[in-house]
Amino acid sequence: MATTSNAVARRGRRARYGQQNCASYSCAVPYAVVLTGRRQDVLQAVAGQIRDAPTAPLVVPADVSDPASVNALFARVREVHGRLDVLFNNAGAFSTHALLEDLPYEAWKNAVDVNLTGAFLCTQAAFRIMKEQQPRGGRIINNGSISAHAPRPNSVAYTSTKHAVTGLTKSTSLDGRKYDIACGQIDIGNVLTERTERMKNGVPQANGTIEPEPTMDLQHVADAVLYMANLPLEANVQFMTVMATKMPFVGRG
């Protein structure tokens, strides 16, 4: 199981909370940033790569699958920054690739707890702040996946939760209208990281073959997320797909 890290940011009097994977590049973020995740050491490393923020990033370790931990996290965000403008739900667990009939229940539950329950708990906590603050409202960005549209072989837990995140995005977008809360989703394809190095040598395809797949630089994802985050609340990117141009997504399966 692998998880990504989380982030909160603030510009001037506008706080931005999210879960942002900055570990593989130097993030230029013109906001005060709060990072959250399970591992203090990883969070500190990410904090050191964030530049141009008006204040030093605040690190708040938390477990997004635990309601008490999430509530304490958002209470800390409100205590330090006073408001919350953007939540980026990016924490994710990649379950063990296994035949559907052989997948352990624990692997299924972990994927659901982190990918779906974690996103819901953070969204719920964000709603409670955003609907009451003045000026009212905010933005929530969910990290979906190409797997929110088309599965890879032997990925039932990850694929199921990412399809569910799409439902969470749509419900959040609808239910947030009355509070001036916008919600969108970014579906990200193959990004070049240590975790995806194996794609150069080949990964399983739907037809049973092993084929290499192209990747893209993580900076393109960061730029896309910041574009979504920086829109005024009168505008919203409901869904965005960012992927390597030659990634076998269109026609996958």
- Cα separation of 44 and 58, whole Å? 9
Q: With contact defined as beta carbons under 8 Å apart, do 221 and 146 qualify?
A: no
Catalytically annotated residue among 17, 25, 105, 158: 158
Cis previous bond, 135, omega within 30: yes
Would you call 18 helix, strand, or coil by DSSP? strand
Q: Residue 192 is which amino acid?
A: L
Q: Residue 249 is which amino acid?
A: F
- Cα separation of 14 and 22, whole Å? 21
- Cα separation of 147 and 241, whole Å? 11
In terms of DSSP bridges, do strands 181-188 and 239-242 run parallel, antiparallel, or are they unpaired?
A: parallel
| Sign of the CA dihedral running 156, 157, 162, 166 | positive
DSSP-assigned letter for residue 197: G
Other CB atoms within a 10 A radius of the CB of residue 45 amount to 14
Phi, psi of 187 (to 5 degrees): -105, 115
Instruction: Name, in order, each residue with C-beta under 8 angstroms of 111's C-beta and a sequence gap of 6 or more.
Output: 93, 94, 95, 157, 158, 160, 161
Q: Can 25 be counted among the known catalytic residues?
A: no
Q: How many residues does the chain have?
A: 253
- Cα separation of 224 and 226, whole Å? 5
Q: What residues act catalytically?
A: 158
